[in-house]
Protein backbone atom coordinates (compact mmCIF):
# COMPACT_ATOMS: atom_id res chain seq x y z
CA UNK A 1 0.00 0.00 0.00
CA UNK A 2 1.45 3.41 -0.95
CA UNK A 3 2.57 5.56 1.94
CA UNK A 4 4.13 8.91 2.69
CA UNK A 5 7.73 8.66 3.86
CA UNK A 6 9.79 11.23 5.75
CA UNK A 7 13.48 11.63 6.52
CA UNK A 8 15.15 11.97 8.90
CA UNK A 9 13.07 10.45 11.67
CA UNK A 10 14.92 12.55 14.25
CA UNK A 11 16.99 15.71 13.92
CA UNK A 12 18.85 17.61 16.62
CA UNK A 13 20.18 21.03 15.73
CA UNK A 14 21.58 24.14 17.35
CA UNK A 15 19.51 27.30 17.52
CA UNK A 16 20.15 29.46 14.47
CA UNK A 17 21.05 26.56 12.21
CA UNK A 18 19.19 25.67 9.03
CA UNK A 19 17.34 22.38 8.76
CA UNK A 20 15.72 20.65 5.80
CA UNK A 21 13.04 18.07 6.39
CA UNK A 22 12.29 15.73 3.53
CA UNK A 23 9.14 13.96 2.44
CA UNK A 24 8.21 11.62 -0.39
CA UNK A 25 4.44 11.92 -0.92
CA UNK A 26 2.26 9.18 -2.41
CA UNK A 27 3.13 9.09 -6.08
CA UNK A 28 -0.20 10.02 -7.70
CA UNK A 29 -1.03 12.72 -5.18
CA UNK A 30 -0.99 16.36 -6.23
CA UNK A 31 -1.53 18.26 -2.97
CA UNK A 32 1.18 18.34 -0.34
CA UNK A 33 1.13 19.65 3.22
CA UNK A 34 3.26 20.24 6.24
CA UNK A 35 1.80 20.11 9.75
CA UNK A 36 3.52 20.19 13.09
CA UNK A 37 2.74 19.07 16.61
CA UNK A 38 4.49 20.68 19.54
CA UNK A 39 4.70 18.27 22.47
CA UNK A 40 1.38 18.09 24.29
CA UNK A 41 -0.40 20.31 21.78
CA UNK A 42 -2.64 19.75 18.78
CA UNK A 43 -1.52 19.06 15.24
CA UNK A 44 -1.30 22.42 13.44
CA UNK A 45 -1.39 23.24 9.75
CA UNK A 46 1.68 24.98 8.36
CA UNK A 47 1.41 25.09 4.58
CA UNK A 48 -0.21 23.49 1.56
CA UNK A 49 1.43 23.21 -1.86
CA UNK A 50 -0.03 22.53 -5.27
CA UNK A 51 1.24 22.93 -8.81
CA UNK A 52 4.65 24.08 -7.58
CA UNK A 53 3.37 26.92 -5.48
CA UNK A 54 2.02 27.55 -2.01
CA UNK A 55 -1.79 27.29 -1.88
CA UNK A 56 -2.23 28.40 1.69
CA UNK A 57 -0.04 29.03 4.71
CA UNK A 58 -0.71 29.62 8.37
CA UNK A 59 0.57 32.48 10.48
CA UNK A 60 3.17 30.07 11.87
CA UNK A 61 4.71 29.78 8.40
CA UNK A 62 6.74 32.98 8.45
CA UNK A 63 9.75 34.05 6.39
CA UNK A 64 11.96 31.53 8.18
CA UNK A 65 10.05 28.69 6.53
CA UNK A 66 10.06 27.65 2.90
CA UNK A 67 8.88 24.65 0.91
CA UNK A 68 10.06 23.20 -2.33
CA UNK A 69 9.45 20.29 -4.64
CA UNK A 70 12.93 20.03 -6.12
CA UNK A 71 12.17 17.01 -8.30
CA UNK A 72 9.22 14.77 -9.16
CA UNK A 73 9.20 12.92 -5.88
CA UNK A 74 10.57 14.93 -2.95
CA UNK A 75 8.81 17.67 -1.00
CA UNK A 76 10.94 19.61 1.48
CA UNK A 77 10.43 21.99 4.37
CA UNK A 78 13.32 24.30 5.17
CA UNK A 79 13.68 26.29 8.36
CA UNK A 80 16.39 28.88 7.74
CA UNK A 81 17.33 29.85 11.29
CA UNK A 82 15.83 27.53 13.85
CA UNK A 83 14.47 28.75 17.16
CA UNK A 84 13.89 26.81 20.35
CA UNK A 85 10.15 26.99 19.78
CA UNK A 86 10.52 25.19 16.44
CA UNK A 87 11.07 21.96 18.39
CA UNK A 88 8.16 19.73 17.38
CA UNK A 89 7.09 16.73 15.33
CA UNK A 90 6.74 17.74 11.71
CA UNK A 91 4.33 15.74 9.58
CA UNK A 92 4.13 15.72 5.82
CA UNK A 93 0.82 14.78 4.22
CA UNK A 94 -0.44 14.35 0.69
CA UNK A 95 -3.80 14.13 -1.04
CA UNK A 96 -5.38 13.91 -4.47
CA UNK A 97 -7.13 16.66 -6.38
CA UNK A 98 -10.57 15.41 -5.36
CA UNK A 99 -12.74 17.56 -3.15
CA UNK A 100 -13.12 16.17 0.37
CA UNK A 101 -10.36 13.68 -0.22
CA UNK A 102 -8.45 12.26 2.71
CA UNK A 103 -4.98 13.49 3.54
CA UNK A 104 -2.46 10.75 4.27
CA UNK A 105 0.29 11.46 6.75
CA UNK A 106 3.89 10.39 6.99
CA UNK A 107 5.48 9.10 10.20
CA UNK A 108 6.94 12.49 11.09
CA UNK A 109 10.33 14.03 11.83
CA UNK A 110 11.06 14.87 15.43
CA UNK A 111 13.03 18.14 15.46
CA UNK A 112 14.83 19.21 18.60
CA UNK A 113 16.41 22.66 18.67
CA UNK A 114 18.96 23.20 21.42
CA UNK B 1 -8.52 29.33 18.44
CA UNK B 2 -10.46 26.23 19.48
CA UNK B 3 -12.42 25.56 16.33
CA UNK B 4 -12.34 21.81 16.94
CA UNK B 5 -12.57 20.55 20.49
CA UNK B 6 -12.20 17.16 22.06
CA UNK B 7 -13.16 17.72 25.66
CA UNK B 8 -12.13 14.32 26.98
CA UNK B 9 -8.34 14.00 27.07
CA UNK B 10 -8.59 10.33 27.98
CA UNK B 11 -11.04 7.44 28.00
CA UNK B 12 -10.76 3.88 29.33
CA UNK B 13 -13.03 1.14 28.02
CA UNK B 14 -13.26 -2.57 28.74
CA UNK B 15 -12.35 -4.84 25.85
CA UNK B 16 -15.42 -5.88 23.90
CA UNK B 17 -17.47 -2.87 24.98
CA UNK B 18 -18.29 0.22 22.93
CA UNK B 19 -15.89 3.18 22.84
CA UNK B 20 -17.46 6.56 22.14
CA UNK B 21 -15.21 9.49 21.35
CA UNK B 22 -16.69 12.94 21.00
CA UNK B 23 -15.78 16.07 19.09
CA UNK B 24 -17.35 19.52 18.85
CA UNK B 25 -16.68 22.23 16.32
CA UNK B 26 -17.55 25.90 16.06
CA UNK B 27 -16.82 26.83 12.44
CA UNK B 28 -20.00 26.58 10.32
CA UNK B 29 -17.87 26.44 7.17
CA UNK B 30 -16.56 22.99 8.05
CA UNK B 31 -18.23 20.38 5.88
CA UNK B 32 -15.89 17.40 5.97
CA UNK B 33 -14.83 15.59 9.10
CA UNK B 34 -12.24 12.92 9.68
CA UNK B 35 -10.99 10.74 12.50
CA UNK B 36 -7.34 9.81 12.72
CA UNK B 37 -5.65 7.38 15.06
CA UNK B 38 -2.14 7.98 16.25
CA UNK B 39 0.36 5.74 17.99
CA UNK B 40 3.40 7.23 19.72
CA UNK B 41 6.22 8.20 17.35
CA UNK B 42 4.02 7.61 14.30
CA UNK B 43 2.01 9.85 12.02
CA UNK B 44 -1.78 10.12 12.17
CA UNK B 45 -3.48 7.19 10.41
CA UNK B 46 -6.79 7.84 8.67
CA UNK B 47 -9.72 5.91 10.12
CA UNK B 48 -13.01 7.19 8.78
CA UNK B 49 -14.58 10.35 7.44
CA UNK B 50 -17.99 11.90 6.93
CA UNK B 51 -19.32 14.62 4.68
CA UNK B 52 -21.80 17.17 6.02
CA UNK B 53 -24.45 15.82 3.66
CA UNK B 54 -24.58 12.65 5.74
CA UNK B 55 -25.31 11.99 9.39
CA UNK B 56 -23.72 8.57 9.65
CA UNK B 57 -20.89 6.64 8.03
CA UNK B 58 -19.91 3.13 8.93
CA UNK B 59 -16.80 1.10 8.19
CA UNK B 60 -16.51 -2.23 9.96
CA UNK B 61 -16.20 -1.65 13.69
CA UNK B 62 -16.06 2.13 13.25
CA UNK B 63 -19.06 4.41 12.88
CA UNK B 64 -19.01 8.19 12.79
CA UNK B 65 -22.13 10.19 13.58
CA UNK B 66 -22.57 13.85 12.65
CA UNK B 67 -25.09 16.20 14.24
CA UNK B 68 -24.80 19.42 12.26
CA UNK B 69 -27.29 21.39 14.30
CA UNK B 70 -25.30 20.67 17.45
CA UNK B 71 -21.95 20.93 15.62
CA UNK B 72 -21.02 17.62 17.16
CA UNK B 73 -19.59 14.39 15.89
CA UNK B 74 -18.76 11.13 17.55
CA UNK B 75 -16.78 8.02 16.74
CA UNK B 76 -18.11 4.68 17.92
CA UNK B 77 -15.86 1.65 18.05
CA UNK B 78 -17.58 -1.64 18.70
CA UNK B 79 -16.40 -4.04 19.88
CA UNK B 80 -13.30 -2.35 21.31
CA UNK B 81 -10.06 -4.29 21.00
CA UNK B 82 -6.68 -3.84 22.75
CA UNK B 83 -5.13 -2.72 19.45
CA UNK B 84 -7.50 0.25 19.47
CA UNK B 85 -5.51 1.82 22.31
CA UNK B 86 -4.10 5.02 20.80
CA UNK B 87 -4.73 8.76 20.61
CA UNK B 88 -7.71 9.65 18.43
CA UNK B 89 -7.87 12.99 16.66
CA UNK B 90 -10.92 14.60 15.19
CA UNK B 91 -10.19 16.86 12.20
CA UNK B 92 -12.32 19.13 10.05
CA UNK B 93 -12.06 21.02 6.79
CA UNK B 94 -14.11 23.29 4.58
CA UNK B 95 -14.53 22.55 0.89
CA UNK B 96 -12.21 24.38 -1.39
CA UNK B 97 -13.19 25.20 -4.97
CA UNK B 98 -11.14 22.18 -5.90
CA UNK B 99 -8.66 19.99 -4.17
CA UNK B 100 -8.04 19.61 -0.51
CA UNK B 101 -8.47 22.13 2.25
CA UNK B 102 -6.24 22.29 5.31
CA UNK B 103 -7.27 20.18 8.25
CA UNK B 104 -8.03 21.69 11.65
CA UNK B 105 -7.38 19.19 14.41
CA UNK B 106 -8.74 18.71 17.89
CA UNK B 107 -6.43 18.09 20.83
CA UNK B 108 -6.98 14.35 20.82
CA UNK B 109 -8.42 11.73 23.15
CA UNK B 110 -6.21 8.96 24.50
CA UNK B 111 -8.21 5.74 24.38
CA UNK B 112 -7.10 2.83 26.54
CA UNK B 113 -8.75 -0.54 26.09
CA UNK B 114 -8.59 -2.63 29.22
CA UNK B 115 -8.22 -6.37 28.55
Question: Per-residue pLDDT for A75 more than 70?
Answer: yes
Q: What pLDDT does B98 receive?
A: 54
Radius of gyration of chain A (CA): 13
Return the C-alpha torsion angle B78, B92, A75, B87, nearest 10.
-40
Report helix, strand or coil for A84. Answer: helix
Identify the band that residue A83 occupies on the pLDDT scale cut at 50, 70 and 90: very high
Tens-digit pLDDT profile for residues B72-103: 999 999 999 999 999 999 999 886 555 568 89
What are the pLDDT digits (tens) for A12-62?
Answer: 999 999 999 999 999 888 899 999 999 888 999 999 998 889 999 999 999
Q: What is the helix, strand, coil percentage profile of chain B, to 5?
A: 5, 50, 45
Query: pLDDT tier at A78 (50, 70, 90 boundaries)?
Result: very high
Question: Contact at 8 Å (CB) between A64 and A79?
Answer: yes
Chain A contacts to B (CB-CB under 8 A): 4, 6, 30-31, 33, 35, 41-45, 48, 50, 55-56, 58, 91, 95-108, 110
At B30-50, the pLDDT tens digits run 989 999 999 988 899 999 999
Q: Which residues of chain B make contact with A31, given a CB cutoff of 8 A?
A: 99-100
| Dihedral, B59, B65, B66, B72 alpha carbons, nearest 10 | -130
Residues of chain A with Cβ-Cβ distance to B104 below 8 Å are: 45
Q: Do A48 and B42 touch (CB under 8 A)?
A: no
CA distance A1 to B92: 25
Q: With an 8 Å Cβ cutoff, are A103 and B46 in contact? A: yes
Amino acid sequence: EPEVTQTPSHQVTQMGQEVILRCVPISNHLYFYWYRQILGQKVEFLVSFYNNEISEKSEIFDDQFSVERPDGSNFTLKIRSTKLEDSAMYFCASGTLAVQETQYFGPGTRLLVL
Amino acid sequence: DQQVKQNSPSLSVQEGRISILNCDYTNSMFDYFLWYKKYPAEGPTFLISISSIKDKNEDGRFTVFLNKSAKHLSLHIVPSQPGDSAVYFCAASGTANFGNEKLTFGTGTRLTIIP
